[in-house]
Amino acid sequence: MTVAWLQALAGGVLVGLSATSLLWLNGRIAGVTGILDGVVFPKPADVSWRVAFLVGLIAAGGLYMALAPGAPQARADFPRGGLVVAGLLVGFGTRMGNGCTSGHGVCGLGRLSSRSLTAVMTFMATAIATTFIVRKLWS
Amino acid sequence: MNRLRLAALGSGALFGLGLAMSGMTDARRVLGFLDVFGSRDPTLVFVLGGAVATSALLFRLVLRRSSPVLAVTFELPQTKHVDRRLLGGAALFGVGWGIAGYCPGPVLAGLGAGSVEALWFIPAMLAGMLLHRLLTRRGEVSNLGQEGAATSMLLEDSGDT
């Protein structure tokens, strides 16, 4: 487990550096759903940097998972219906609440925003409660 | 490719690399982390901890500048108040996160590695975003100023060669 927590810490620092570089160079908040929203529902002249960010995320993340020895791998056996319901809730909820783990978590907490702190505490609480209930139901 | 796009590509790559290294892309670990009354796997605390500590430290330095390196202005969220939309949206997002263990960044990184689950989750997530847009379309005022869009258009045009 010592390696796992070091990888977790290093990965977290890289995510923090990424959010910093996007703010420093582009002046933008690295919120994944906000960036994705601007690609799916584009505003004129505000699309290309978003596409570039997402391409970088998908390509680099995918390459690391495919090529790095011992890289954490994605699960493949979760019930499909569960994935669809979860995806709908994540998509709807992140737009309604204006952010996800990256926008409110990494960037919002980084800016010491009390609004984001409220959002993070709320989604952590419902995520923990949901995990608890789902585990009870299944075991 | 202009400098704004190149910078965004690099930031995105760093983001994906960090997520893939951290273990957030493995939803089993995420659920193990969220299961605080059961398996109590605290490893992923280091991901959020490392990310927030880094951004809190460095954002402070970055925001001392009057403007970002490649753009005219910092585009920061202007909303400060907590309302029902924020609480309701965050609550729903947490339920979805707790069911499958995916939040948007990691599932996109998984897509790059050909994850089967990402192929089910991501279209549903996009449908959820579309549904939200359809339900709130009427009367909604975008809080991204037109001014910001205009300046980034000028920059993108001038950088294209």
Of A10, A26, A63, the CB nearest to B8: A26
pLDDT tens track for A117-139: 999 999 999 999 999 999 888 76
- Looking at residue A3, its pLDDT comes to 84
User: Does this complex have an ipTM over 0.85?
Assistant: yes
- Looking at residue B105, its pLDDT comes to 97
Q: CA nearest A22 in B: which residue?
A: B11
pLDDT tens track for A88-110: 999 999 999 999 999 999 999 99
CA dist A89 and B48 (Å) reads: 22
- Looking at residue B146, its pLDDT comes to 40
Q: Is A127 helix (H, G, I), strand (E, B) or coil?
A: helix
pLDDT bracket for residue B102 (50, 70, 90): very high
- CA-CA-CA-CA torsion sign (A5, A8, A14, A18): negative
- Looking at residue B41, its pLDDT comes to 86
The structure's pTM equals 0.90
- Are B128 and A84 in contact, with CB atoms under 8 Å apart? no
CA dist B151 and B156 (Å) reads: 9
Question: Which of B1, B66, B92 would best serve as a mutation to test chain A binding (most A beta carbons within 10 A)?
Answer: B92
- Judge whether residue A27 has pLDDT over 90: yes
Residue spans of the domains in chain A: they are 78-139
CA dist A67 and A10 (Å) reads: 18
Q: Is A41 helix (H, G, I), strand (E, B) or coil?
A: coil
How far off is chain B from A38, nearest CA to CA, in Å?
A: 11
Residue spans of the domains in chain B: they are 3-159
Average pLDDT for residues B20-30, to the nearest whole number? 96
- Are A130 and B95 in contact, with CB atoms under 8 Å apart? yes
pLDDT tens track for B136-148: 875 454 444 443 4
Of B9, B88, B95, the CB nearest to A130: B95
Joined tokens for residue B113: 């590695």
pLDDT tens track for B65-91: 999 999 999 999 998 899 999 999 999
